[in-house]
Amino acid sequence: MSQFPATQKLFSREDGTPLRAGDLFQNPDYADTLELIASKGEEIFYRGEIADEIVDAVQNSPTSPGILTLSDMERYRPVTRKPVRTQFGPYSVFGMPMPSSGGATLALMLNIVQARGTDDLEWGAPDTFADLINIQNLAFADRNFYMADADFIDVPVEGLLEQSYANERGKLLNNSMPIKTPIAPGKPKGSTEHDEVGNLAPESPTTTHFCVVDKDRNVASITSTIEQHFGSAITVPGRGFLLNNELTDFSSRATNKDGTLVANRPTAGLLPRRTALGEAAQSLGSKRPRSSMSPTIVLKEDQPFLAIGSPGGSRIIGVVFNAVLNTIVFDFSLQEAVNAPRVISRNGTPELESPLYRNESLRAALTAKGFPVVDAQAAGSVQAILIGSDGWLEGAADPRREGLALGY
C-alpha cells in the first residue's frame, strides 16, 4: 500500500505505522461521501463530482494508470436480471444469474443430486462424499465451458437446468467411483458445436456475504466483492473508498492451447444488455467478468425458508452446495450445517477441509477408490438465516471467518 498514499494513510496510524488490533478505525471521508450521495442521489456518483474523482484516481494511478473514462461511468448500469431457479423436492432454489456462474452451477449440482437420489446419502460416508465430489466436478465441467456474460456469450442456461439434462449427466456416476478429471462438458439443449470454450480463471476468496430477513419476512441474500485484499489498492483521495480489482475475474488468456476462444475472455466493444430487465434492456454495455458469487434464497412450498451465501472465490459454489445439502438433505441444524467440514471439487483434485482430511479412515477409503484428495484450508464463510415453519428465525455465522448473527 506504500505505493498508494491515500490508501496507506487510510489504513495507518497517525505516525504512518499500520493499524493494529484494538485501534479505532475512523473514515470521515467516507461518511462525507455517503452524505453527499444521500443528499444528491446516485447521479453524483455516476455523472457528478464523485465520478470525476474516480476517473482521475484511475487515470493517475502511480503504478498502472488505467483507461477508465467519464463516458464509462455514465454508461454503467446496475442491471436487474431474472434469477436462476430450480426445484429440489418441495424447495424452490433461487440464485444469481450470469455473469455470475454461481446460481446456474449450484442449480445443476442440486439437479444431479436429484437424479442420483437422496435416500441413501449419509453425511460423512465415503460413498456419499465420493458422489458429491463427482457431482461438483460434473457441474464445473459445464460451468467452465459454457458460462460467462450472457450479454456477450450464448449460454444455454435453460438446457443446463433441465432435469432431463441432469439425469443424463447423473448416469456418469458409477458406484461412487471417480470420474476422471478434467471431465468433458455435456451437450445441453441450446448448445452448439461452436460454443466457445472457457477455462477456470482464479478468483480471490476475499469477498463478503450477509443475509437479512425483516419483520415482514422480506429476504435479502447479498454477496459483495472488491476481488482481493484492498481491491486494486487505489483509494479515491478524499472519498474514503477503495476501487475494486474485479476485471481480474476475466480469463487471463483469450484462447486455449488449441486456439479455441475462451468464453470468459475480455471482449472489447458495447452490446445490448440482452439479459437485462426494464429500462437497462434498452441500453448498451461492456462485457462483465464471470464470478462465482452464489447468494441464494430457498422457498419451501412457496414460503421463505433459507437465505444463504458465502465468500470464497470459485469455491463459493461448492461451499454453498455443501451447506444447502446439510440443511435440506442431511437435516442438520443451521449452525451445524454451516460448521460442518466441507468437501470441494472444481473439475480437478478434490479438497477436504482439514477435519475431514485428518479422518484417516475416510481419506483412506477415498484414496482407495482413486480420488487424489488434498488437505484444504478453511473454505468459505457461510452466513445464513433459516425461517422456521413457526415463523421463528435462526441465524448462523461461520466460525471460519469473522461474522455475527444478530436479531432484534
Q: Residue 224: how many CB atoms within 10 A of its CB?
A: 12
Place of cell 444478530: 406
How many angstroms separate the CA atoms of 290 and 198, rounded?
10
Q: Residue 102: how many CB atoms within 10 A of its CB?
A: 29
Q: Residue 251: how many CB atoms within 10 A of its CB?
A: 22
Catalytic residue (one of 33, 181, 207, 327): 207
Burial of 393 (0-12, 13-18, 19+ CB in 10 A): middle
By the 8 A CB rule, do 261 and 220 touch? no
The verdict on whether 208 is a catalytic residue reads no
| SS3 assignment, position 390 | coil
Residue type, 113: V
What are the grid coordinates assigned to 94, written together?
433461487
How many angstroms separate the CA atoms of 219 and 136, rounded?
27
| SS3 assignment, position 198 | coil
What are the grid coordinates assigned to 79, written together?
442491471
Enzyme catalytic residues: 207
